[in-house]
Amino acid sequence: MSRERAMAFERAWVKVLAVLLFAYATASLVHHVHNAEFLADYPNMPAWITRPAVYAAWLCETMLGATGYLLLRRGHPAFGLSVIAVYAALGFDAFVHYALAPAGAHTAAMNVTIWLEAAAAALVFVALAALVRRP
């Protein structure tokens, strides 16, 4: 593959990654808002988890993803992609709800927001894989 085609491939996937990061941040926000607003309804949630803590967690996680993307765009691809990978991995943390109680103990809305966040995180990993394996 020519250098020009390789650069075009990379630029295209960086744009796709930006869209997927936005989608993941949005899905994560939906899950965190639902979690914060219905905290008492989530089964077996530890008492130390508070509404402000849930919002703070989302903000910190999202700042991590934004930092990774900024690093990628500013010429630090290995570090940026690594930080984004950590951010995407946090999306699978939503499944911890199922360690506290089975899926059947959660409402449909709870299950949808949990799976939406994890699915969006998985799509970020697809873009990361394409960028890491770039020609």
Number of separate domains in the chain: 1
pLDDT tops 80 at residue 108? yes
3-state secondary structure the chain: CCHHHHHHHHHHHHHHHHHHHHHHHHHHHHHHHHHHHCHHHCCCCCCCCCHHHHHHHHHHHHHHHHHHHHHHHCCCHHHHHHHHHHHHHHHHHHHHHHHHCCHHHCCHHHHHHHHHHHHHHHHHHHHHHHHHCCC
pLDDT tops 80 at residue 135? no
pLDDT tens-place string over residues 7-62: 888 888 999 999 999 999 999 999 999 999 999 999 999 999 999 999 999 999 99
Q: Which domain holds residue 48?
A: 3-132
Give the per-residue pLDDT at 125.
97
pLDDT tens-place string over residues 57-78: 999 999 999 999 999 999 999 9
Question: Residue 6 — very low, low, confident or very high, per pLDDT cuts 50/70/90?
Answer: confident
